[in-house]
């Protein structure tokens, strides 16, 4: 079977035969659309689609370091935070990951909500 895998912006074409994998090609061009077997697709509602990394007003965007599901939003707009404070909890690969404040500041906006499915680089909140 042949698979296309996107990793860090590079498209890898991989062939797996009887438990052995062989790299066929590597490309810097992004794939048009990933092909995912129907059995692997989650029944997540469309309303939980990932938010694009767009401008959400003034302040520094705090983005998702990895794909996953937001399991808890600890802060709210207007709340003061210190560097290292937990802002949100992101579950990835069955592990809860605290998303910490990169600096002291005030939460300008919270973009992500509990239950949202996010991709790497999606904006979770902004700090001013």
121 with 64, same domain? yes
Query: What does the pLDDT read at residue 13?
Result: 75
Of 79, 127, 119, nearest in space to 103 by CA? 127
Average pLDDT over residues 92-107: 92
60 with 19, same domain? no
Whether the per-residue pLDDT at 28 is higher than 80: the answer is no
Instruction: For residue 36, tell me if it sits in a domain.
Output: no
The domain spanning residue 82 has which CATH number? 2.40.50.100
Range of the domain at 23: 2-31
Secondary structure class of 18 (helix, strand, coil): coil
Instruction: For residue 41, tell me if it sits in a domain.
Output: no
Higher pLDDT, 89 or 43: 89
Instruction: For residue 39, tell me if it sits in a domain.
Output: no
Cα-based torsion angle of the residue sequence 7, 12, 93, 62 in order, rounded to the nearest 10 degrees: 20
Question: 38-70 pLDDT, tens per residue?
Answer: 444 444 444 444 444 445 566 789 999 999 999
Structure token digits, residue 19: 């438990």
Sign of the C-alpha dihedral computed for residues 52, 105, 100 and 70 taken in this order: negative
Number of domains the chain is built from = 2
Whether the per-residue pLDDT at 32 is higher than 80: the answer is no
């Amino acid at each position: 079977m042949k698979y296309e895998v996107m990793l860090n912006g590079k498209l890898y074409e991989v062939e797996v035969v009887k438990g052995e994998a062989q790299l066929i090609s590597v490309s810097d061009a992004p794939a048009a659309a990933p092909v995912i077997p129907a059995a692997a697709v989650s029944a997540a509602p469309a309303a939980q689609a990932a938010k694009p990394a767009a401008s959400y007003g003034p302040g520094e965007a705090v983005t998702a370091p990895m794909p996953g599901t937001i399991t808890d939003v600890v802060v709210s707009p207007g709340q003061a935070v210190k560097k290292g404070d937990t802002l949100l909890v992101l579950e990835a690969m069955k592990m809860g990951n605290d998303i910490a404040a990169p600096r002291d500041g005030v939460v300008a906006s919270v973009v992500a909500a509990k239950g949202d499915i996010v991709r790497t680089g999606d904006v979770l909140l902004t700090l001013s």
